[in-house]
């Protein structure tokens, strides 16, 4: 019997990989997850370490969030050979597969902006790891006056609202400490407007003005000097700061692929946006942040894509809708969501308290959702249906 089972190898035990593994039926599949380290991280919480000093744990053992029948191998994957259908581990051991799913997420590349490594060491960031997020918290606590710059470096990054969430939470931090008059906050972005999608920007830009936050658009960060406290753009602008938090460029994780041309120039895996099939292969898929697809790098995206791939592996004709649903914290216990799909532009979804509570509730249930997709799927589905872009765009524009 066991011989009839399809061997599925999933590389990466993050938000996407784990939920996919737990969704596949054990009588049909022999499922193995590989991860180079033992923990599943709830990365969104880096924001609350950085800007609120939260001590809530942000990681759990991958093993503890997997169904008992899923095999877990703690090892890096060095090579994915799509032609000969194997994954090579650090030890040189090869795992053959019937299906492979790449769920390796993204990594950050400081080398793309000269000076960024030093800036990060000094001021931290909230897009890489806990240590750097704690550095941001220290940076805020040390500042009594001057300019705090939050800069979105050109390139891909995780979670579209996250740069501005940091800006809004920093503003709240300094106001609550009574330092707001002495600390100038400036946000710099390479996009034409503070929030890239226009409808959402119609909510966000007035809010920045209302809170006295400065911003610079079309600012393509070129290099940054922490000693002089100046960030230079490719457009020739100089931005002076006392502290700078930079959202670093994200790239793929550096696994070797055969053939190599499945990767784009940033090391992300190219795929079909409806099925997540890796370009040119019908037995290989990429989900979540690891893909080069023009969709938001969010856990929700990874989660929904995992659902589609799970169905395809079981022989169904499932397709992605491109749905995003990103909670967006704007400080003071208020929030909105970035909601769109392939067929509908971003909704101008009103800012309120409930949305913020949803974000917090979501965080509280995260690992439970990974482990019990069968219990949470109906909740998720009804929520997604109620907030479907085609349905609510007439309400909010």
Partner 1 sequence: MAVSQGNKIVVDARGIACPGPITEVVKAYRNARNGDIIEVHATDPGFEPDIKAWIQRTGNQLVELRKDSDKIVAVIKVTAKK
Ligand X SMILES: Cc1cc2nc3c(=O)[nH]c(=O)nc-3n(C[C@H](O)[C@H](O)[C@H](O)COP(=O)(O)OP(=O)(O)OC[C@H]3O[C@@H](n4cnc5c(N)ncnc54)[C@H](O)[C@@H]3O)c2cc1C
Q: How far is the CB of 277 from partner 1 (least distance, A)?
A: 16
Q: How far is the CB of 265 from partner 1 (least distance, A)?
A: 8
Report the residue number whose CB is nearest to ligand X.
14
Residues paired with 220 in a beta bridge: none
Q: How far is the CB of 326 from ligand X (least distance, A)?
A: 5
Asked whether the beta carbons of 354 and 332 are under 8 A apart, the reply is: no
Interaction pattern, residues 277-296, with partner 1; x per rule: CB under 8 A: -----------------x--
Query: How many Cβ atoms sit within 10 Å of the Cβ of residue 379?
Result: 11
Contacts (CB under 6 A) with ligand X, residues 233-292: 253, 255, 288-290
Binding of residue 35 to ligand X (CB under 6 A): yes
Nearest one of 310, 326, 319 to 362, comparing CA atoms = 326
Interaction pattern, residues 320-359, with partner 1; x per rule: CB under 8 A: --------------------x-x--x--------------
Q: How many residues bind ligand X (CB under 6 A)?
A: 37
Q: How far is the CB of 232 from ligand X (least distance, A)?
A: 25
Which value, to the nearest 10 degrees, does the dihedral of the CA atoms of residues 300, 158, 244, 150 take?
-60
- Grouping H, G, I as helix, E, B as strand and the rest as coil, residue 117 is helix
The Cα–Cα gap between 235 and 336 comes to: 32
Binding of residue 270 to partner 1 (CB under 8 A): no
The Cα–Cα gap between 7 and 94 comes to: 13
- Residue in this structure with the two tokens 């960030």, named with its chain if needed: 231
The one segment of 12-20, 22-30, 200-208, 225-233 that binds ligand X by CB under 6 A:
12-20
The one segment of 63-71, 101-109, 134-142, 377-385 that binds ligand X by CB under 6 A:
101-109
The Cα–Cα gap between 179 and 168 comes to: 15
Binding of residue 197 to partner 1 (CB under 8 A): yes
Query: Nearer Cβ to partner 1, position 57 or 236?
Result: 236
- Out of partner 1, ligand X, none, which partner does residue 46 contact, by CB within 5 to 8 A per kind? ligand X
The one segment of 58-66, 126-134, 229-237, 372-380 that binds partner 1 by CB under 8 A:
229-237
Which helix (H) or strand (E) element contains residue 381?
helix 373-386
Helix axes 162-176, 130-142, angle to 10 degrees: 40
Q: How far is the CB of 290 from ligand X (least distance, A)?
A: 6
Helix axes 15-23, 373-386, angle to 10 degrees: 110
Contacts (CB under 6 A) with ligand X, residues 175-204: none
Q: Can you list the alpha helix ranges (DSSP code H) found in 198-313?
A: 198-210, 299-313
Residue selected from 117, 130, 222, 242 as contacting partner 1 according to rule CB under 8 A: 222
Binding of residue 124 to ligand X (CB under 6 A): no
Query: How many Cβ atoms sit within 10 Å of the Cβ of residue 131?
Result: 9
* CB-based contacts of 279-286 (< 8 A; 24+ apart in sequence): 280/82, 281/82, 283/85, 283/97, 283/98, 283/99, 283/100, 284/80, 284/82, 284/99, 284/100, 284/101, 284/102, 285/99, 285/100, 285/101, 285/102, 285/309, 285/312, 286/101, 286/102, 286/103
Nearest one of 140, 124, 215 to 180, comparing CA atoms = 140
Residue selected from 32, 120, 276, 298 as contacting ligand X according to rule CB under 6 A: 298
Residue selected from 61, 234, 375, 396 as contacting partner 1 according to rule CB under 8 A: 234
- Out of ligand X, partner 1, none, which partner does residue 326 contact, by CB within 5 to 8 A per kind? ligand X
Residue selected from 114, 192, 254, 259 as contacting partner 1 according to rule CB under 8 A: 192
Binding of residue 14 to ligand X (CB under 6 A): yes
The Cα–Cα gap between 227 and 99 comes to: 50
Residue selected from 9, 10, 31, 34 as contacting ligand X according to rule CB under 6 A: 34
Residues at the site binding partner 1, with contacts judged by CB under 8 A: 154-156, 190-192, 196-198, 217-218, 220, 222, 232, 234-236, 265, 294, 340, 342, 345
Residues at the site binding ligand X, with contacts judged by CB under 6 A: 11-17, 34-37, 43-44, 46-47, 76-77, 103-105, 126-127, 158-159, 162, 253, 255, 288-290, 297-300, 302, 326-327
């Amino acid at each position: 019997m066991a011989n009839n089972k399809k061997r599925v190898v999933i590389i990466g035990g993050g938000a996407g990989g784990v939920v996919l593994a737990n969704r596949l039926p054990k009588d049909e599949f022999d499922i193995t997850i590989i991860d180079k380290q033992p923990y599943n991280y709830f990365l969104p919480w880096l924001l609350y370490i950085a800007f609120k000093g939260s001590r809530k744990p942000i990681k759990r053992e991958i093993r503890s969030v997997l169904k008992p029948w899923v095999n877990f191998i703690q090892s890096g994957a060095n090579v994915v050979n799509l032609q000969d259908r194997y994954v090579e581990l650090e030890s040189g051991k090869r795992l053959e597969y019937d299906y492979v799913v790449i769920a390796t997420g993204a990594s950050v590349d400081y080398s793309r902006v000269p000076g960024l490594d030093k800036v990060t060491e000094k001021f931290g960031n909230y897009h890489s790891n806990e240590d750097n997020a704690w550095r941001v918290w220290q940076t805020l606590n040390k500042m009594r006056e001057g300019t705090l710059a939050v800069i979105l470096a050109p390139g891909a990054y995780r979670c579209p609202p996250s740069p501005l969430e940091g800006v809004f939470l920093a503003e709240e931090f300094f106001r609550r400490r009574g330092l707001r008059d002495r600390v100038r906050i400036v946000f710099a972005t390479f996009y034409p407007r503070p929030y890239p999608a226009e409808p959402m920007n119609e909510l966000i830009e007035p809010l920045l003005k209302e809170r006295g936050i400065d911003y610079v658009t079309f600012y393509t960060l070129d290099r940054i000097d922490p000693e002089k406290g100046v960030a230079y753009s490719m457009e020739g602008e100089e931005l002076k700061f006392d502290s700078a938090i930079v959202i670093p460029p994200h790239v793929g994780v550096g696994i070797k692929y055969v053939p190599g041309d499945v990767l784009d120039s940033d090391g992300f895996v190219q795929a079909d946006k409806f099925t997540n099939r890796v370009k040119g292969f019908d037995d290989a898929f990429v989900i979540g942040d690891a893909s080069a697809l023009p969709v938001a790098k969010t856990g929700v995206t990874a989660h929904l894509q995992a659902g589609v791939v799970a169905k395809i592996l079981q022989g169904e004709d499932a397709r992605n809708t491109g749905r995003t649903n990103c909670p967006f914290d704007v400080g003071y216990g208020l929030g909105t969501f970035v909601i769109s799909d392939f067929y509908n532009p971003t909704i101008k979804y009103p800012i309120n308290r409930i949305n913020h509570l949803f974000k917090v509730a979501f965080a509280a249930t995260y690992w439970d959702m990974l482990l019990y997709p069968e219990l949470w799927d109906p909740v998720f589905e009804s929520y997604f249906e109620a907030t479907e872009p085609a349905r609510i765009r007439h309400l909010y524009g």
